Amino acid sequence: MVSKALLRLVSAVSRRRMKLLLSVALLAYVASVWGNFVNMRSIQEHDELKIESKIEEMVEPLREKIRDLEKSLTQKYPPVKFLSEKDRKRILITGGAGFVGSHLTDKLMMDGHEVTVVDNFFTGRKRNVEHWIGHENFELINHDVVEPLYIEVDQIYHLASPASPPNYMYNPIKTLKTNTIGTLNMLGLAKRVGARLLLASTSEVYGDRRNEEVREQDGNQREKNHRNRNSPKCNPEVHPQSESYWGHVNPVGPRACYDEGKRVAETMCYAYMKQEGVEVRVARIFNTFGPRMHMNDGRVVSNFILQALQGEPLTVYGSGSQTRAFQYVSDLVNGLVALMNSNVSSPVNLGNPEEHTILEFAQLIKTLVGSGSEIQFLSEAQDDPQKRKPDIKKAKLMLGWEPVVPLEEGLNKAIHYFRKELEYQANNQYIPKPKPARIKKGRTRHN
């Protein structure tokens, strides 16, 4: 009896121990499985973080592009006046991405007109008009006026042509084509659609002149000038230059491609007016300056400002006694619009009659910039006009126009713009250098 009881007790204890051992083993197994699960989970989370990080790196540029696109779609344009259908004009500006053309674009857009800019970007820049891209009243066309253009417009401002000596002397045949074939194409367009055309001519049509002033000439003096016209040392002149002065241009000099190109363009305008009844306006533009000028286009203003800002010598060609009359670009734009909308079909001078010598101008820019640059005298450029001063009596009388921006105020604006441009160029590892008014020799040109 006792032995049986002991056996039952032992077996009961063994069963409890077995259960306990099984429980411990089960707990150990569960703990092991849970540990493996936690480890796998942490590894998975780490991998997921890596993947998310890589996805984020790839998506961020796309997000940036979407933000830029949204910004462009919600771009704020300069304030534009609302015009009714009968007052709003469809206006074409050739060379509208250039220095003067872009400022004219701004004015006409803000006045509420529909503006189409045509430019082949030889000297024009998209940057000059990019603030209008996307506006419902604005269109930009990459086109060379040497090729025909078919478009419906009410007015044409024909400004297309390189205007600084290094640019128009770089490819003289192309300059001639732009001013002749390009003008013919624009006159043909004006004839087809019944548009009025304004030609941006130049004071260069007056050519060179002597230093002494001759304001009135009697019959004997005119005859004497006519006899002496063949003399290379004689430059018949009227100073200041009025629209009635026919000019004295060297037809075979380095500047002839531009000077004679503009002269024949004027002839074409009046031929179309007389023969085809096309409404034409001709603006003879004198020296103009302001923001958006090319920094290294070789003109007096840009050269002097750039050299003064960079602490380089201001280069004066010749003695510096040559005179120029500089107008600010906003004055010119107002004059062009006034002329286009007037009844004046004969040529009109648009310039500032305030005359300065090149040397005076260099010293003024030195003072305004606060530069310690020296003035360096170089040999005189061939066919460089000795005197430039417009007679603007006609513009005052018939257009009610005259320059209003003081020279120093305009120069300060131009200097501020050039400073910003230099900062921009420096960030892009490019430092512009002024170009001398010289033709490049030995360079292949494509016509």
Report the distance separating Cα 268 and Cα 262, nearest Å.
10
Which residue bears the tokens 């009359």? 325
> Would you say the C-alpha torsion 107, 110, 113, 117 has a positive or negative sign?
positive
- Backbone φ/ψ region at 114: left (φ over 0), alpha (ψ -120 to 50), beta: beta
Catalytic member of 157, 258, 272, 317: 258
Report the distance separating Cα 229 and Cα 223, nearest Å.
10
Close Cβ partners of 341 (under 8 Å, ≥ 6 residues apart): none
- Active-site residue 29, yes or no? no
Q: In 3D, which of 162, 158, 163 has the Cα closest to residue 91?
A: 158
| Residues noted as catalytic | 258
